Amino acid sequence: MPYRVTFVCTGNICRSPMAEWILRHHVEDEGLDVEVDSSGTGGWHVGDEADERTVAALYRAGYRSAHIARQFEAGWFDRYDLIIALDEGHRRALLSMAPDEEARGRIRLLREFDPDARAPDLDVPDPYYGGRADFDLVLEQVEAAVPGLLEEIRAALKER
């Protein structure tokens, strides 16, 4: 059974699909048995493709993208080994939906995996109202967290 990771942001068109495709690239390169997807805390963009600026940032960095936005549902907690929030607001929303302590224990902030990120500044900023530099910053922050996230995933896969 694969290890399952999901990323959660607000509308599932900017940050979480970017994180999804970056992690997906790395787990595929390593041949890890990991499924990666993403969703949003809200339903504003359900059915939409990823923001074109997200797709452009991914392509500039050598990643691919194919995405349709969806909203995270409370019944999904059992599906995932790791649920990664992109900011504290997403984390709080997920914690409020979690059915039990075990589910709450699967929720983490992405930047917790970046050794250079320091609390309380662990949010990945929402680039939606910004420009190219804002999307590139999100990409940089996601990439900075990926090595630590991969360590966590590898360790969990070894325990299975």
Q: Where are the domains of the chain?
A: 3-159
The reply to whether 14 belongs to the active site is no
Give, rounded to a whole angstrom, the gap between the first and last alpha carbons of the chain: 9
Place of tokens 């995996």: 113
Q: How confident is the prediction for the chain on average, in pLDDT?
A: 97
Residue 18: its pLDDT value, please?
98
Which strands make up the sheet holding 82-85, listed edge to edge?
34-40, 3-9, 82-85, 107-109
Which pLDDT does position 138 carry in this prediction? 98
The yes-or-no answer on residue 9 being catalytic is yes
C-alpha R_g of the chain: 14
pLDDT at 123: 98
Which CATH number does the domain 3-159 belong to among 3.30.450.20, 3.40.50.2300, 3.30.70.580, 3.40.190.10? 3.40.50.2300
Q: What is the pLDDT of residues 87-115, one digit of tens each?
A: 999 999 999 999 999 999 999 999 999 99
What pLDDT, in 10s, does the model give residues 52-89? Answer: 999 999 999 999 999 999 999 999 999 999 999 999 99
| Nearest-angstrom CA–CA distance, 11 and 55 | 15
Give the DSSP H or E segment for 29: helix 15-30
Q: Which of 4, 104, 126, 136 is catalytic?
A: 126
> pLDDT at position 142, please?
98
Q: Which of 15, 91, 106, 111 is catalytic?
A: 15
The pair of structure tokens assigned to 8 is 């959660």
